[in-house]
Amino acid sequence: MLNLDKTKNKNILTNRIKIIILFSLIILIILTAIFIVFTKNKHNDNIKRSHHERHKNSIISKRESIVPPKNVKMTPGEVAPWNVKRTDGRKMAYLTFDDGPSINTTSILQILDKNKIKANFFIIGSNAERYPDLVMKEADDGEIIGNHTYSHQLNYKEGPENFVKDLNKCDGILKSILGNRYTSELVRFPGGSFDGKMHPGRLASFRDAATKAGYRYIDWNDETNDSESLDPSVPYLLDQLKKNTVGKNVVVVLMHDAGAKKNTVQALQQVIDYLKSQGFSFDTVE
């Protein structure tokens, strides 16, 4: 009887050990499966993250190869977008306004904003002193601010040194208003840097002096001729624009936001509509 009990107890113990071992194996299998699944998911996440980073870096690299960094200084001298052959086949219009800011500037900014277009504003330094809030507004709106001299006097008798001093004075005024937001060295000569037929080569020394001072200068190849008189009519402005745009794929359009140019404001929406109808997109010169 005693031996029978011992045998029975031994069998019970053996069965318990088997159950414990089996239970342990089941737990081990479950934990192993969980570990494998977790490791696989983590591996997949790492692959996705690596692919995302490579894709992101590729996009950034491509973008940086197209757009020069903002802190890179451009080469001084002439800027002439119409002489640069575009490889994308697009027609491009650059709207530019000289002689401001003035009482007309706000209306021009509103029209540009309505059309989601940015423009270049070449500012006279003395006007900037008079309307610093408008200079700030132009910058806040994302317009490109340029230098149109402080006095708007291009007196050839004074010589190129005084001309550069006038540019420098305007540059100082714009920096005093905008601080480090104004880093442009893009200027437009009053009347343009063109040599007139009556005085060929007269402005060469002025162009050289501006270039040596680190400035880039831009003229235009299209205009509404709103400077032909005090305030030409809207039909005249549109007619001149159409004549001057014919046959061109890149146009830098000269207009003025001086105080007297009320019809320039009235014509601006039609100027934009016409250029759009001719297939032009809009950009700024920086």
pLDDT of residue 57: 46
Determine the average pLDDT of the residues in 33-53.
56
* Measured distance CA(257)–CA(103) in Å, rounded: 8
Residue 182 has pLDDT above 50, yes or no: yes
pLDDT of residue 31: 76
Q: Give the residue, 4 or 112, on which the prediction is more confident.
A: 112
Residue 62 has pLDDT above 70, yes or no: no
Determine the average pLDDT of the residues in 71-89.
83
Please say whether the dihedral angle defined by the alpha carbons of residues 215, 94, 219 and 124, taken in this order, is positive or negative.
Answer: negative
* pLDDT single digits (tens) 190-209: 999 988 765 578 899 999 99
pLDDT of residue 28: 77
* Measured distance CA(242)–CA(240) in Å, rounded: 5
Please say whether the dihedral angle defined by the alpha carbons of residues 253, 257, 105 and 167, taken in this order, is positive or negative.
Answer: positive
Tokens for 113? 């904003």
Q: Give the residue, 219 or 46, on which the prediction is more confident.
A: 219
Tokens for 65? 């190869």
Q: Give the residue, 39 or 250, on which the prediction is more confident.
A: 250
- Range in 201-205, 219-223, 224-228 with the lowest mean pLDDT: 201-205
Tokens for 200? 């060929």
pLDDT of residue 20: 75
